[in-house]
Amino acid sequence: MKTTRLVIVAVGGQGNLLASSILAEAALIDRVPIRMSEIHGMAQRGGVVESALIFGPGHSTIIADGEADLLVGFEPAETLRALGKCHRESTVITNLAPLMPFTVNIGQGVYPDLKRLQEIIRAKTARLIAFNATALARDAGNVLAVNMVLLGCLVETGLLPIQAASVHTAMEKKIKPDLLEVNRRAFQAGAAAARENAA
């Protein structure tokens, strides 16, 4: 088995850590070695939350620059900020709905142009899947399910060594029963987005 390295970046409150723990749980079900680390000190204060998941053999729990085979960004500017984690063969999945940092609101800095952002990522990596995951989550019934939309997309690419069925089992374990349906719909919407991109 080869080692697959995944970095997920998000803004505090976007549910990155739940998505990561579902993937890790699925790996445990599939008996795939899994190591994970997170930086979440100030997650609740609107800072950046990053998690690293390493599937397969090895020892490290963190992913250095140039080591990520997969980068999933829950927010476009954060995807761009984390691009240094990637190498030429990496696949990048990004939400296209911006969350404006307050620094922009008070006139410190300009938010990057979304079209250009996609061109840059496409030019530097092997594949980019970019779509408005927030809108899909809203359509699925809960804008907070954006994490599951991106999770669905990620799992659908088939680039992780885990079974979709195991991810569903992990979701049942980690998500409250009354929210499960909405999250499943969001997951499916993300999976459909990945299929569209591949087509």
Under the criterion CB under 8 A, does residue 21 sit at the interface with other proteins?
yes
Nearby residues of 150 by Cβ (< 8 Å), 6 or more positions away = 19, 72, 74, 93, 95, 133, 190
The footprint of other proteins on residues 58-77 (CB under 8 A) is 58-67, 77
Under the criterion CB under 8 A, does residue 145 sit at the interface with other proteins?
no
Under the criterion CB under 8 A, does residue 154 sit at the interface with other proteins?
no
**Shortest Cβ 171–other proteins spacing (Å):** 15
**Shortest Cβ 126–other proteins spacing (Å):** 11
∠45-47-49 over CA atoms, to 5°?
Answer: 115
Number of helices (H), then strands (E), in the chain: 8, 6
The footprint of other proteins on residues 103-122 (CB under 8 A) is 103-113, 116-117, 120
Under the criterion CB under 8 A, does residue 30 sit at the interface with other proteins?
no
For residue 61, report the phi and psi dihedrals to the nearest 5 degrees: -115, 0
CB 76 within 8 A of CB 94: yes
**Shortest Cβ 159–other proteins spacing (Å):** 16
34 strand-pairing partners: 55
∠144-14-69 over CA atoms, to 5°?
Answer: 120
**CB-nearer residue toward other proteins: 23 or 140:** 23
- The residues that touch other proteins, with contacts defined as CB under 8 A, are 11-12, 21, 24-25, 28, 33-42, 44-48, 58-67, 77-78, 80-81, 83-90, 100-113, 116-117, 120, 124-125
